[in-house]
Amino acid sequence: MNLLRHHSSQEIRPGDSFRYAREILKPYGELDRVLAWCKTELIDEWRWQLIDGSSDHRPGRYIFYFDSDRDFFAFVLHWA
């Protein structure tokens, strides 16, 4: 079970408590763009988790978790 800390509180919520999850690969330096987009475009609760950090030689692996259909599909259409 993966535990994720809410970015605006001290609550910890397990990753499997979200309705949707999507893994993405992003090159070094690209995660900030994804997070900025999520902060402005998503309307319901969401989290992200680092699986494997990026480097100059390989992309990072991240899992994003969502509660709403709208947020999940907007994320998939934009970033997948």
Query: CB 61: neighbour CB atoms within 10 A?
Result: 15
Q: Determine the pLDDT at residue 4.
A: 55
Residues 6+ apart with CB under 8 A from 58: none
Query: What is the average pLDDT value for the chain, to the nearest integer?
Result: 88
Question: Alpha-carbon Rg of the chain, whole angstroms?
Answer: 12
Least confident segment among 4-8, 65-69, 75-79: 4-8
pLDDT confidence of residue 6: 52
User: 4-27 pLDDT, tens per residue?
Assistant: 545 555 567 788 889 999 999 999
pTM given for the model: 0.83
